[in-house]
Amino acid sequence: MDTSPTLLITGGAGFIGSHLATELLQHGYHVRILDNLTPQVHGPERQRPDHLDQRGEFFIGDIRDSQQLREALDGVDAVIHLAAVVGERPSMYRIEKYMSVNTAGTATLLEALLDHPVKRLIVASSCAVYGEGLYCSYNGTVYPKIRRSRGETAKGNWEPRSPEGEVIYPLPTPETKEASPLSIYAISKYDQEEMCRMIGEAYGIRTTILRLFNVYGPHQGYASPYSGMLAEYASRLLQDLPVRLFEDGYQQRDFVSVYDAARAFRLALESPGAAGGTFNIGSGRPYTFRTVADLLATITRRQHLAPEATGISRIGDIRHCVADISRAREVLGYEPQVPLEAGLLDLVAWVEGEIGGRPKAASPLRVPASSGLRV
């Protein structure tokens, strides 16, 4: 008799969800996917993506539809909640949409779980909840809550300063840093965290929060404003267009491969100490957008196309944020396995295939199947 756990991934046909489904299926789990196949991501035909693993059971449904949720939850042991509208800039003018899907949709899921209790709930949150990362001054003073002045960025003064006007420097950001969301998207992700944490504690659902940093990889929407920048950079270079950098391009971010992110979700399911915890999932290494643009230019053999700094700062943008992943290392056994250069090679191969109509790149990681969910 097959006793493998059944997992529901909300938003499982999306960029991260599709990779996660494959990761879990390779490790012997039964996977059920709930996704509304939004046209902004999947096109007007709303067809199941070809790259979505066919071994997974698929439900078309909206996270805000309680009846569809209850059908998808029948017989499920654990839920990984990825369903969300993503992107910080669009959230600043599509306020109702973001709050409806991300906040109200999560509330609908939690109500459904009261009638269909599960043993584990893993929630995909975002580094956006931090706002700016952690900073310190030259003399060692730490500043956990910094906001840039729009007046200063309008003048091209990109780097944050202390309240006293001192130059400050970015530090790795731990989970203990106070949340300071700077966009509607970030507020909605923090709402998800707080609601899931509270209901999990109240009803005995062992809940884990994963704060994802800048995830990249194949199947990321390079033509969509709702996804990250790296696929867009690769697409422009492959079309002999220079990369366009906001501000001066020296903003620091933590870029993590989607394969590492997918593995982190599995580790959160399988790690006995993960329940009740919040974990940063990143690479733990800082890179500027300019550095990544240069790497992509080298990979695509477009070194002659120098990146263009626009000098434009966007509402909701931060300057620096890089993950302190020591807690995930210690508790989850998480260790990033895909170096940035290798991940960018894989990304470029996939984008090139999309542009040219060739087959998509295969995953660089193949792992033996074995299920280790602790319930």
| DSSP, res 131 | S
Note down pLDDT in tens along the chain; length 375 residues. Answer: 466 899 999 999 999 999 999 999 999 999 999 999 886 666 677 778 889 989 999 999 999 999 999 999 999 999 999 999 988 888 888 999 999 999 999 999 999 999 999 999 999 999 999 999 999 999 899 999 899 988 889 899 999 999 999 989 999 999 999 999 999 999 999 999 999 999 999 999 999 999 999 999 999 976 554 457 899 999 999 999 999 999 999 999 999 999 999 999 999 999 999 999 999 999 999 999 999 999 999 999 999 999 999 999 888 889 999 999 999 999 999 999 999 999 999 999 999 998 875 544 444 433 333 334 444
Residue 362 lies inside a defined structural domain of this protein? no
CB-based contact 87:227 (threshold 8 Å): yes
Residue 374 lies inside a defined structural domain of this protein? no
Q: Which of 109, 81, 89, 87 is nearest to 40 (CA)?
A: 87
Q: Which two tokens stand for residue 88?
A: 């910080």
Place of tokens 């970030």: 186
For residue 22, which amino acid is it? T
Residue 81 lies in domain: 6-356
Q: Which of 169, 121, 124, 126 is nearest to 146 (CA)?
A: 169
Length of the chain counted residue by residue: 375
CB-based contact 266:23 (threshold 8 Å): yes
CB-based contact 15:51 (threshold 8 Å): no
Q: List all residues 6 or more positions away from 132 whose beta carbon is below 8 Å from its beta carbon.
A: 145, 146, 147, 148, 160, 180, 182, 318, 319, 320, 321
Tally of structural domains, the chain: 1
Residue 375 lies inside a defined structural domain of this protein? no
Q: What is the CATH number of the domain that holds 344?
A: 3.40.50.720
SS3 content of the chain, % helix, strand, coil (to 5): 35, 20, 45
**What SS3 state is found at 278?**
strand
CB-based contact 248:351 (threshold 8 Å): no
Residue 368 lies inside a defined structural domain of this protein? no
Q: What is the largest CA-CA distance in the chain?
A: 67
Residue 364 lies inside a defined structural domain of this protein? no
